[in-house]
Amino acid sequence: MMMSSPAESDVMSPTPGAFRLRWDVFLSFRGTDTRESLIKSLYESLHAHGVRAFRDDDGLDRGDEIAPSLLEAIDDSAASIIIISPDYASSHWCLEELAKICECKRLVLPVFYRVDPSDVRKQLGPFEAGFRSHELRFKNQMEKVEKWRKAMKKVGGVAGFVFNNNRSDPLFLIFI
Catalytic sites, residue numbers:
97
Q: How far is CA 29 from the centre of its chain?
A: 5
Alpha helices in the chain, H assignment, sequence order: 31-34, 40-48, 68-75, 92-104, 117-122, 126-137, 142-156, 169-175
Alpha carbons 63 and 125: distance in angstroms, whole number: 27
Alpha carbons 88 and 155: distance in angstroms, whole number: 13
Q: How far is CA 129 from CA 33, 40, 88, 170, in A?
A: 16, 27, 11, 30
